[in-house]
Chain A
């Protein structure tokens, strides 16, 4: 059912339950201490740090929270599907969102998906969303906490031909309209768009809920389907590394060439004097 058939801008039948998709990505732990963060420059990949497990990207957790709050406000049978493109280990990220309250999960797992950029990823996710069908809104994190691009949500929207609002601090969906308060560089802005739409959620929204134990245990029983590129009808040359538009030429840890000079001094007055003397010498005054 495309946007035209929904009558963009008009009220939906309040009896009809909504269907949301939450995009979740599992990433290397962003809290890996800098000392344990290493890159293999031959493959341009981060070396998994020993003892650090991959985690759900934090903004995706907040996006799930946004979807869940709308579901609770709507008080009906809104269905939430959590969608993830990744390896088998991404099941853990899906389970986490299921434990928060999502209803079912979909893992897009295929070697053909690997090595892609935002463009290739968005293509896969958009195809999956279309296949799921009847989706009213897609919730993404503002950026994946590994690559920090902040792009996939918008690319999905464009692929589907839907409006999108990014950096959401608050989202409401009612009567066929998505109203978003979003973060600007110097303040906030509230916009209204017809659903179906995409929203990317920022940390200003709030914290994701702590799941009840009952929900954690039930999550194990919720369905998680896997899909490959065949099932999505995707051409391998358009996805994964083959379909990437941005080619990663080099990934490296910048070598800090600042060797810190610790200021000496017996008393605070000495320390202050010596520091200011250096700054004056460096022409900062």
Chain B
């Protein structure tokens, strides 16, 4: 577990300081305090307490009733217990995700630790009071007073930071779904903390301040406040009177604030760690299979009760922080998808129809006829679902571990398989996959066209070590042929034992699964697994990160367990072990685009960068949004075959970011990203003069290994003499063109 930056450090440090100071306390004998000092009716606290507990239970039951409307999860959420506990600790307690926003990380730690510690403080008082245990005296009491005040102060710092952001800086994402409760929570907490200090201050004023000032100093904040109030020269009875009022106020506000847990997003303090426990333990690139699909009558989620109970539960974990929406490529481009609003809309829908569904179930009525609004189409619009790129940025940022993407895909599955309601262009792509085994309707190329001019191309026959999987985009889209050819030449040069499948390749189903046609995907996957096994395939090198993700993370669902590498990983290993030598200079400045399926979803950030380091003469500038914060190119989630609805196109936004680095070339590792840049860069930089050129890592490496004569595109970009014309994109016309 990474300790660097975790809350452990400040917490332990402060505690250690406190302990040290306590040890230094000269005389602590007798230090302690009367519990319920000056409290008129101490039993009232227990009434409040019971009411609070009752309210919490009620709240939990009310929520749980709704969650239980959901379907069972496919995999047991108790499996892999150690990992789940680790996730719960790392994400729920150490709040790794919250810290991705530095300011919020500090702010939240302050509030979180303050609430946690002060709850422990109060609990200790209660234990001291109600049980035979006695420990709140002497040194420990002083230490206890110290850290009580310390964390109260830390809490106020946190509240101050939060108020600063909300009320003075006008931080954008706070406004996206701001509600009255948000003000209540933060102002309320502030008041609770302040009133707490005041209570302590007034108590000290009439006790320790005069009697044992050294002890009083341990409650350093209240000590200061008490001293301040001395200037008013109130009489003891006056102080006690004020103390009483403030005590009631404090109790009332404290319990009310805690009561907010039931009605507001404060419940995340329980739900977030639990959701972290429930978090998937496998790759985010793996979508769930529909078991026994042939026997089902309903597909995907078209009714809120068709979500799993976990998907319904996590709706309640959402704190409306807006980080997901902030990083959503569709949202950034002004398209109709906001992951936060999607989750909130689902949550609102569940709250409003859930009880009716429950009742209908009890009365034996049709639970599917209850909701006045269609979940898919009315609560969540079709265009919202289609705008998703499945890039996973939302899930990456979510501090409460909500899994937006599977929820969106579940609704797409309903649209496609149950309603058959999908955009025409997506329909064409899916039908093309069904009929022709690839999504590129209208291509004039065959799967073997890329082999022209490469000499003898080995066909995989089970004897070679690796299968080089070219994929549909690598063979049927004009612009990508040079990439395929580059990888091929590099594999050959490195002496790797490999073969290709050529005409026998067929779509592995990834676009079908992302678009929601799970049935088609399963058919393709089952068939391809059989084919791979027949051919004795064991290791696969893929051109494309989507193929990489599907083979690696999803094919095991169908019994296909292969060792899968992306071409950048493999080529990097060949450079590392010396089988490939990059000796030719490429005098260009480069920037690198992390594709979502290789980068964020599968964590491969370094291999391509290491390859670039091997290229002599090249210098690399990182884009502002890179690695796990990289912005999607826009083609994911089937959007390569969907028309964009909204203000801008995602690939234009990303191209703009690439151009802003000032580099000569933008290097990527995915045929879809390349196509997006080929379209986006000229759109954002119409003059051909000085325009950035997009290339794959393999094309770059090809030039470094073989020299400019063979890599026409890359060489032409850097103005090398004798290089042939550029390999630019020619879009295939749909339906055979005309």
Q: A and B touching (C-beta < 8 Å)? A: yes
Binding site for B on A (CB under 8 A): 29-31, 33-36, 50-53, 55, 58, 207, 209-217
Q: Are B418 and A51 in contact (CB under 8 A)?
A: no
24 A-B pairs whose Cβ atoms sit less than 8 Å apart in the complex: A30-B736, A31-B436, A31-B442, A34-B444, A35-B444, A36-B446, A51-B437, A51-B446, A51-B447, A52-B436, A207-B424, A207-B427, A209-B420, A210-B420, A210-B422, A212-B417, A212-B419, A213-B299, A213-B417, A213-B519, A214-B297, A214-B418, A215-B420, A217-B294
Residue B237 lies at the interface, judged by CB distance under 8 Å to chain A:
no
In chain B between 231 and 284, which residues have their CB closer than 8 angstroms to a CB of chain A? none
CA distance A209 to B430 in the complex (A): 12
Cβ contact within 8 Å between A53 and B503: no
CA of A207 to CA of B735 in the docked complex: distance in angstroms? 11
Q: In whole angstroms, how far apart are the Cα atoms of A29 and B735 in the complex?
A: 11
B519 pairs with A53, CB closer than 8 A: no
C-alpha gap A50/B437 in the complex (Å): 12
Q: How far is the CA of A209 from the CA of B297 in the complex (A)?
A: 20
Q: Label chain A's interface by main secondary structure.
A: loop
Known: A58-B735, A213-B517, A214-B418. 11 other contacts (CB 8 A): A31-B436, A33-B443, A33-B444, A33-B445, A35-B449, A53-B436, A55-B435, A210-B431, A212-B418, A213-B416, A214-B417
Report B470-514 CB contacts with A as 1/0, cut-off 8 Å.
000000000000000000000000000000000110000000000
CB B432 to nearest CB in A, in angstroms, measures 8
A30 to B738, CA, bound (A): 12
* B441 interface hit (Cβ, 8 Å): yes
Neighbouring B residues of A214 by C-beta, 8 Å:
297, 299, 417-418
CB of A212 to closest CB in B, whole Å: 4
* CB closest residue in chain A, given B417: A213
| Chain A residues whose C-beta falls within 8 Å of the C-beta of B504 in the assembled complex | 51
CA distance A51 to B299 in the complex (A): 31
Interface residues of B in 443-475 (CB under 8 A from A): 443-447, 449
Interface of chain B: mostly helix, strand, loop or mixed: helix
Nearest-Cβ distance from residue B113 to partner chain A, whole angstroms: 51
In the assembled complex, which residues on chain B have CB atoms less than 8 Å from the CB atom of A36? 446
Q: Which of B506-552 contact A (CB under 8 A)?
A: 517, 519
A-B complex: 10 closest residue pairs judged by Cβ atoms: A213-B417, A212-B420, A51-B503, A210-B420, A33-B444, A210-B427, A31-B736, A55-B435, A213-B519, A36-B446
CA distance A51 to B446 in the complex (A): 9
Residues of chain B touching chain A, judged by Cβ–Cβ distance below 8 Å, are: 294, 297, 299, 416-420, 422, 424, 427, 430-431, 435-437, 441-447, 449, 503-504, 517, 519, 735-736
Q: Specify which chain A residues have a CB less than 8 angstroms from the CB of B430 in the assembled complex.
A: 210
Do residues A29 and B418 form an inter-chain contact, with CB atoms below 8 A?
no
Question: Chain B residues near A215 (CB, 8 Å)?
Answer: 420
A53 and B435 in contact, given A212-B418, A212-B420, A214-B418 (Cβ under 8 angstroms): yes
Q: Which residues of A contact B445 (CB under 8 A)?
A: 33, 35
State whether A50 touches B519 (Cβ < 8 A).
no
Q: Which residues of B contact A51 (CB under 8 A)?
A: 437, 446-447, 503-504
In the complex, A209 Cα to B503 Cα: how many Å? 30
Q: How far does the Cβ of A245 sit from chain B's closest Cβ, in whole Å?
A: 30
- In the bound assembly, the distance between CA atoms of A207 and B425 in angstroms comes to 11
List, in ascending order, chain B residues with CB within 8 A of A213's CB: 299, 416-418, 420, 517, 519
Residues of B within 8 A of A209 (CB): 420
Contact of A216 among B297, B424, B449, B519 (CB under 8 A): B519
Tell me the smallest distance from the CB of B152 to a CB of chain A, in Å: 59
Minimum distance in angstroms from A26 CB to a CB of chain B: 11
Q: Which residue of B lies closest to A52 (CB)?
A: B436
Q: Report chain A residues within 8 Å CB of B447.
A: 51
Q: Which residues of B contact A211 (CB under 8 A)?
A: 420
The winner among B416, B427, B504, B736 for most chain A CB atoms within 10 A is B736
Shortest Cβ gap from B512 to chain A (Å):
12
Residues of the B chain whose Cβ atoms lie less than 8 Å from the Cβ of A210: 416, 420, 422, 427, 430-431
Q: Which residues of A contact B735 (CB under 8 A)?
A: 31, 58
Residues of A within 8 A of B443 (CB): 31, 33
- Chain A residue contacts of B442, Cβ below 8 A: 31
Q: Determine which residue in B417, B430, B445, B447 has the highest number of CB atoms from chain A within 10 A of its CB, and name it.
A: B417
Tell me how far the C-beta of A104 lies from the nearest C-beta in chain B, rounded to whole angstroms: 21
How far, in angstroms, from A216 to B419 measured CA to CA in the complex?
12
Chain B residues, CB < 8 A from A207: 424, 427
- Give Cα distance in the complex from A147 to B406, angstroms: 46
Cβ of A62 to closest chain B Cβ, rounded Å = 12
CB closest chain-B residue, reference A30: B736
CA distance A215 to B416 in the complex (A): 12
Residues of B within 8 A of A35 (CB): 444-446, 449
Contact check, A29 vs B436: say whether CB atoms are below 8 A apart. yes
Residues of the B chain whose Cβ atoms lie less than 8 Å from the Cβ of A50: 503
Note all chain B residues with C-beta closer than 8 A to A30: 736
Contacts of A217 in B (CB 8 A): 294
Centre residue among B441, B445, B446 by max chain A CB count within 10 A:
B446
A215 to B418, CA, bound (A): 9
* Closest CB in chain B relative to A218 CB, distance in Å: 10
Most buried by B among A36, A210, A214: A210
In the bound complex, CA of A50 to CA of B601 (Å): 36
Choose among B299, B435, B503, B517 the residue that contacts A29 (Cβ–Cβ < 8 A).
B435
Separation of A40 and B649 alpha carbons in the complex (Å): 48
A58 and B294 CA atoms in complex are apart in Å by 28
Q: Which residues of B contact A58 (CB under 8 A)?
A: 735
For residue A208, give the distance in angstroms from its CB to the closest CB of chain B: 9
Q: Which residues of A are found within 8 Å of B417, using beta-carbon distances?
A: 212-214
A271 to chain B, nearest CB (A): 14
> Closest approach, in angstroms, between the C-beta of B430 and any C-beta of chain A?
7
**Shortest beta-carbon distance from A204 to chain B in Å:** 13
CA distance A210 to B423 in the complex (A): 10
B444: A residues at CB distance < 8 A: 33-35
CB of B138 to closest CB in A, whole Å? 73
Docked complex Cα distance between A52 and B419 (Å): 29
| Docked complex Cα distance between A205 and B436 (Å) | 24
> Whose C-beta in chain A lies nearest to the C-beta of B734?
A31
The distance in angstroms between the C-alpha atoms of A214 and B299, with both chains bound, is 9
Q: Which A residue sits closest to B447, measured CB to CB?
A: A51
Nearest CB in chain B to that of A92: its residue: B435
Name the distance in Å between A211's Cβ and chain B's nearest Cβ.
6
Report the Cα distance A216→B519, complex, angstroms: 10
CA distance A53 to B416 in the complex (A): 24
Query: Which residues of A have CB within 8 Å of B503?
Result: 50-51
**A33 CB to nearest chain B CB (Å):** 5
Q: Which A residues are CB-close (under 8 A) to B294?
A: 217
Closest B residue to A35 by CB, please name it: B446
- Closest CB in chain A relative to B88 CB, distance in Å: 38
Question: Cα distance A66–B427 when bound, in Å?
Answer: 18
Residues of B within 8 A of A53 (CB): 435-436
What residues on A are CB-neighbors of B419 within 8 Å? 212
Bound Cα distance A216, B434 (Å):
12
Closest to A100 in B: B420
Given A210-B430, A213-B519, CB of A31 within 8 Å of CB of B441: yes
